[in-house]
Amino acid sequence: VVGLGRDSGRFSAVVKGARKGKTRLAGLLEPPVELEGSLRPGRNLDGLSQLQLRRAFAGLRQNLDGLLAAGFLSRLFTEALPERSPSEGAFELFGNLLERLTARSNVAVTALWGQDRLLLELGIPPQIEICLGCGSDQVRGYSPRDGGMLCASCYCGSGFAVPAGVLDGLRNLRGLEADDPLPTMNPATVREIGRIYKQQFQQHLGLPDRVFRPVLPKRPS
């Protein structure tokens, strides 16, 4: 299995006995799920044992949009976070996102907010307040190469224009706390903001395009 641990960070480990048909263990490993367990270093592979269920996010399984977003976020977190580098912030964030998706609140905006928060956790958020070139607060475009917003005179040639509504959306998302309700956004704004976060991840971490497609949470294999 691949997972995200509060104390361990991203890990891969073997769970002995998990493939033996319809056992309690196989059921426990149906993602997404929060487990308590013991991670022990092994000769070749680490072992995960003494598993107990903490949160099942049961409602998520009846909600295809939410499940696809959970799959996307799971893959993004596991590809973006470095292995064996504990981040309590990333762990809490991931749990918060699954709770929000389970509550079916605003799936697309939840996925966007999660990406902005993950970029913050990784220390590579897009700069959205001032022009990275000259410091002007009149920002008009985004440049992946520069990793943020630029004003009209600085962005020519190096990025793309960002409409005022999209900039408002980016600032709204940045200002939200973990317990705040998420704003509603029209599909065009969601698409444009998603494009900016994707370029930001790709610029800094080189993640491939496939990471940014909706996908069902992966069963252990």
Task: Give the interface segment with Zn ion, choosing from 79-87, 118-126, 151-159, 199-207 (CB under 5 A).
Answer: 151-159
Check binding of 132 to Zn ion (CB under 5 A): no
Residue 171 CA: distances (Å) to CA of 22, 126, 166, 186: 47, 11, 9, 15
Minimum distance, C-beta of residue 145 to Zn ion, in the bound complex (Å): 14
The number of residues making up the chain comes to 221
Secondary element (H or E) of residue 40:
strand 34-40
DSSP string of 173-221, one letter each residue: HHH--TTSPPPP--HHHHHHHHHHHHHHHHHHH---GGGGS--PPPPP-
Among 4, 51, 151, 173, which residue interacts with Zn ion (rule: CB under 5 A)? Answer: 151
Does the footprint of Zn ion cover residue 149 (CB under 5 A)? Answer: no
Using rule CB under 5 A, residue 158 touches Zn ion: no
Find out whether 140 and 162 touch, Cβ atoms under 8 Å: yes
Residue linked to tokens 């600085």: 154
If binding is defined by CB under 5 A, does position 162 make contact with Zn ion?
no
* Count of residues touching Zn ion (by CB under 5 A): 6
Separation between Cα atoms, residue 17 and residue 194, nearest integer Å: 40
Give min distance, CB of 158 to Zn ion, in A. 11
Selected range binding Zn ion among 72-80, 93-101, 133-141, 200-208, rule: CB under 5 A: 133-141
Query: Contact region for Zn ion (CB under 5 A) — 94-102, 144-152, 181-189, 200-208?
Result: 144-152
Q: How far is the CB of 159 from Zn ion (least distance, A)?
A: 11
Interface region with Zn ion, contact rule CB under 5 A, candidates 82-90, 128-136, 164-172, 174-182: 128-136
Assigned token pair, 173:
């998302």
For residue 148, the minimal CB distance to Zn ion (Å) is: 11
Determine, following the binding rule CB under 5 A, whether residue 133 of this chain makes contact with Zn ion.
Answer: yes
- Contact indicator for 139, 130 with CB cutoff of 8 Å: yes
131 contributes a contact to Zn ion by CB under 5 A: yes
Q: Which helix (H) or strand (E) holds 136?
A: none
Contact between 134 and Zn ion by CB under 5 A: the answer reads yes
Q: How far is CA 102 from the centre of its chain?
A: 15
Asked if residues 70 and 101 have their Cβ atoms less than 8 Å apart, the reply is yes
Q: Closest approach of Cβ 146 to Zn ion, in Å? A: 10
The CB density around residue 163, as the number of other CB atoms within 10 Å, is: 12
Residue type at 114? G
Among 51, 93, 111, 154, binds Zn ion (CB under 5 A): 154
Please report, as ranges, the residues that interact with Zn ion according to CB under 5 A: 131, 133-134, 136, 151, 154
